[in-house]
Amino acid sequence: MGTITTRDGTEIFYKDWGSGQPIVFHHGWPLSADDWDNQMLFFLKNGFRVIAHDRRGHGRSSQTATGNDMDTYAADVAELASALDLRDAIHVGHSTGGGEVTRYVARHGEGRVAKAIIIAAIPPVMVKSDRNPGGTPVDVFDDLRAQLAANRAQFYLDIPTGPFYGFNRPGADISQGLIRNWWRQGMMGGANAHYDCIRVFSETDFTDDLKRIKVPVLVMHGDDDQIVPIADAALLSIKLLTNGTLKVYERFPHGMCSTHPDVVNRDILAFVRA
């Protein structure tokens, strides 16, 4: 574990285990590198070097008042990749992290990235507009901001207890450990950065980024994702990618990396080794 200091003085925390081809994991909002524990252990045992960082304003990185935007997030990853001299890397992103992967690979990844995987990811763009009529109304995101500002601790219990892992579905196998770990990770970060990031994950448009990417990309999404609906995400992203592969998972929720790690890890490994 270590930190780098970016050009604007922000400390970015990261984990770096093992040797071999690097796999870099990008977490979702409002979590941290710890959300990838299962994947990091699995791929470490399979002979890969595994790296995961806490995005600025999240986890153990600086709680920044500025730079909470997707361009800066991607630039921070570029600085980390340069500092660790990462080449021939596989970048894996979940949710907001999938957007971070998309922008990083499109704008900074040339010569360093071999493949990318985006899981339950936010691209192309979440918010509803004239250009994106199937998107989520901005009122939904306004409500998220209001709940965060009013009582972040309770808000961060409600999300994993309900739609994030699909625990609100009849017959769901509810894990209190996952709920508590989600809350723990969320509360480690900065309230202002998390507030700003709601706009980042809802309003950032990745259409041009997806079109620019030339390396192979695996798009993984559950058809019961209640956070990032598949119809306005993966099913549109795959049409914009030059070299994309889509895998849809029946009844999988948004937090599929944690609820179904055996399936997710197996399919990532197959794609990486192909």
Number of H helices, E strands in the chain: 10, 8
Cα–Cα distance between 122 and 203 in angstroms, integer? Answer: 10
Contact 29, 18 (CB under 8 A): no
Query: Can you tell me whether residue 189 is helix, strand or coil?
Result: coil
> Bridge-partner residues for 220, per DSSP?
119, 247
Task: Indicate the DSSP class of residue 64.
Answer: -
Sheet holding 11-17, edge to edge: 2-5, 11-17, 49-53, 22-26, 89-94, 113-119, 217-222, 244-249
Task: Give me the phi and psi of 45, to 5 degrees please.
Answer: -70, -20
Catalytic residues, which ones? 95, 225, 254
